[in-house]
């Protein structure tokens, strides 16, 4: 911020959902706020043991997908610990994403705080699936029909789901997660917040962000994509090498017999952590095949290579559709009705984007270059964060 002394120092608490993608997104935002003088500390929150949750489970990575509902139940039961911290800390603002109890904890208190739902998903997923106009039905078959077309007033006419995608992707929205369904967790968290914050640029997602703000009647605060910086080349995971070595032993169990030998000399099969940002920024990287998760959706257009998308989840599928149909910077691999993909389909997509003489590849490059210029602008990044902090100040000054 140009002159930090002109504004009140913010006292912020972050309480993300316990999944690594969410934790990392909240950490990136915390680092940006810290660069502008906001200090922060880490406090432990013990995840209680509930029936059905594997012992010691603390994040969604510790839990198979069919047991994630128990993790939500345990997360819900952290409320007394969080309330105790908030009573002691007396923050100005609490950022959260799925902890729908947070807004209620800030209301009716003399030292009450403002609650901000910091949505780590791309706005296309929020706008398409979980706005009030959508009114999904509890009967899954009815919801499948509803999700085949955009909700009323949706700003993009080209985004839609195929029937076989909706049939597979809708049921998880209605998994019972503690006292609420997953869909209710998401909508309640948004509906009860004082404001919604999202990782986005108005130049890219403006109509979607305006639609969400209108639907929920909330202030919409944009942080920008908060792209992480690559670690220096000399950085390493020296202290964790024993863990990496141990984990690498399990890679071969997931590979078809003989696969590693067949790709030798043409590719690398590696099961440990890799310096992804350094790889993406390397001039030899010509194509990035990814699932279009929240991080990759921003990292892909921020770097100079062709993009092929292979989405799995509902959020990823909508994100891929947005990059292909709206931004026109990527190609999506065709899926069969079984949701399987073929090696021929993947090969065809890669060849299409890598054919330097084809009109499709050239159009993708032109569109990609425009967005990359925006995402690589340090001035734009700083301006968005300055405006974000000013918007938080305005939120604090508003009446409860």
| Residue 245 resides in a domain | yes
| Residue 386 resides in a domain | yes
**Residue 247: CATH number of its domain:** 3.40.50.2000
Residues 322 and 253 occupy one common structural domain: yes
Residues 252 and 116 occupy one common structural domain: no
Say yes or no to pLDDT of 4 above 60. no
118-138 as b/e, with b when 16 or more CB fall inside 10 Å?
bbbbbbbbbbbbbbeebebee
Residue length of the chain: 400
CB 203 within 8 A of CB 374: yes
CB 196 within 8 A of CB 212: yes
Looking at every residue in the chain, the average pLDDT score rounds to: 87
* Percent of the chain with pLDDT strictly greater than 90: 58
| Residue 233 resides in a domain | no
In angstroms, the Cα distances linking 275 to 34, 66, 228, 249, 255 are 24, 30, 12, 19, 22
The structure tokens listed for 11 are: 């006292």
pLDDT attached to residue 2: 38
CB 182 within 8 A of CB 175: yes
Confidence bin at 263 (pLDDT 50/70/90): confident
Q: What is the pLDDT of residues 232-253, one digit of tens each?
A: 554 444 544 544 455 455 556 6
d(CA 151, CA 132): 9
Please state whether beta strands 220-222 and 195-198 pair in parallel, antiparallel, or not at all (unpaired): parallel
Among the listed residues 193, 225, 202, 210, the one whose alpha carbon sits nearest the alpha carbon of residue 395: 193
Segment among 5-19, 29-43, 294-308 with least mean pLDDT: 5-19
Say yes or no to pLDDT of 302 above 90. yes
pLDDT attached to residue 114: 95
Strand partners, 181: 176
pLDDT attached to residue 234: 47
| Residue 167 resides in a domain | yes
Segment among 76-80, 166-170, 221-225, 296-300 with least mean pLDDT: 166-170
| Residue 289 resides in a domain | yes
Residues 214 and 262 occupy one common structural domain: no
Say yes or no to pLDDT of 313 above 70. yes
d(CA 294, CA 312): 13
Backbone angles phi, psi at 391, to 5 degrees: -65, -35
| Residue 208 resides in a domain | yes
Residues 220 and 274 occupy one common structural domain: no
d(CA 230, CA 24): 14
Confidence bin at 39 (pLDDT 50/70/90): confident
Residues 223 and 277 occupy one common structural domain: no
Q: What is the pLDDT of residues 339-381, one digit of tens each?
A: 788 989 999 999 999 998 899 999 999 999 999 999 999 999 9
Residues 319 and 187 occupy one common structural domain: no
Residue 287's region, left for phi above 0, alpha for psi from -120 to 50, else beta, is beta
Highest mean pLDDT among 9-13, 170-174, 203-207, 333-337: 203-207
Residues 224 and 86 occupy one common structural domain: yes
pLDDT attached to residue 244: 47
Residues 362 and 383 occupy one common structural domain: no
pLDDT attached to residue 169: 81
Domain carrying residue 256: 238-375
pLDDT attached to residue 262: 82
pTM given for the model: 0.87
pLDDT attached to residue 230: 62
Q: What is the pLDDT of residues 131-148, one digit of tens each?
A: 998 877 667 778 888 888
CB 19 within 8 A of CB 68: no
Backbone angles phi, psi at 306, to 5 degrees: -80, 155
Q: DSSP letters along 41-83, please?
A: ----------TTSPTT--SGGGS-GGGHHHHHHHHHTTHHHHH
Say yes or no to pLDDT of 229 above 80. no
d(CA 130, CA 215): 10
pLDDT attached to residue 14: 95
d(CA 337, CA 357): 32
Say yes or no to pLDDT of 188 above 60. yes
Residues 219 and 254 occupy one common structural domain: no
CB 37 within 8 A of CB 4: yes
Residues 191 and 45 occupy one common structural domain: yes
pLDDT attached to residue 235: 47
Residues 6 or more apart in contact with residue 194 via CB below 8 angstroms: 103, 106, 114, 115, 116, 218, 219, 395
pLDDT attached to residue 237: 46
Q: What is the pLDDT of residues 68-114, one digit of tens each?
A: 999 999 999 999 999 999 999 999 999 999 999 999 998 867 678 99
Residues 76 and 117 occupy one common structural domain: yes
Q: How many C-beta neighbours within 10 Å does residue 19 have?
A: 18
Residues 204 and 322 occupy one common structural domain: no
Q: How many domains does the chain have?
A: 2
Helices (H), 119-201: 123-129, 140-146, 163-169, 182-192
DSSP 14: E
């Amino acid at each position: 911020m140009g002159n930090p002394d002109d504004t009140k120092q913010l006292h912020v608490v972050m309480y993300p959902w316990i999944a690594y993608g969410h934790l990392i997104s909240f950490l990136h935002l915390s680092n940006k706020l810290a660069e502008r003088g906001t200090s922060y500390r880490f406090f432990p929150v013990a995840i209680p043991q509930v029936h059905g949750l594997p012992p010691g489970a603390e994040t969604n990575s510790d839990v198979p997908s069919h047991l994630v509902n128990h993790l939500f139940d345990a997360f819900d039961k952290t409320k007394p610990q969080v309330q105790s911290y908030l009573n002691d800390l007396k923050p100005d603002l609490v950022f959260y994403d799925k902890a729908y109890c947070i807004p209620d904890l800030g209301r009716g208190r003399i030292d009450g705080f403002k609650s901000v739902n910091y949505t780590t998903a791309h706005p296309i997923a929020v706008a398409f699936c979980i706005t009030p106009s959508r009114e999904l039905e509890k009967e899954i078959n009815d919801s499948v029909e509803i999700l085949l077309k955009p909700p009323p007033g949706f700003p993009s006419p080209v985004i839609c789901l195929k029937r076989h995608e909706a049939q597979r992707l809708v049921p998880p929205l209605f998994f019972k997660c503690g006292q609420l369904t997953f869909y209710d967790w998401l909508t309640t968290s948004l509906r009860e917040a004082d404001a919604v914050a999202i990782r986005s640029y108005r130049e890219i997602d403006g109509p979607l962000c305006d639609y969400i703000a209108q639907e929920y009647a909330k202030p919409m605060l944009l942080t920008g994509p908060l792209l992480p910086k690559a670690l220096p080349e000399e950085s390493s995971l020296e202290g964790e090498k024993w863990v990496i070595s141990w984990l690498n032993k399990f890679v071969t169990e997931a590979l078809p017999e003989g696969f590693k030998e067949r790709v030798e000399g043409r590719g690398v099969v590696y099961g440990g952590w890799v310096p992804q940002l350094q790889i993406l920024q390397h001039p030899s990287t010509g194509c990035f095949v990814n699932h279009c998760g929240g991080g990759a959706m921003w990292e892909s257009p921020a770097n100079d290579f062709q993009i092929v998308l292979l989405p799995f989840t509902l959020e990823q599928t909508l994100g891929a559709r947005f990059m292909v149909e709206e931004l026109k910077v990527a190609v999506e691999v065709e899926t069969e009705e079984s949701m399987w993909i073929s090696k021929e389909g993947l090969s065809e997509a890669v060849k299409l984007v890598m054919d330097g003489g084809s009109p499709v590849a050239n159009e993708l490059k032109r569109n990609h270059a425009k967005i990359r210029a925006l995402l690589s602008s340090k001035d734009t990044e700083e301006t968005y964060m300055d405006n974000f902090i000013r918007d938080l100040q305005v939120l604090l000054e508003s009446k409860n």
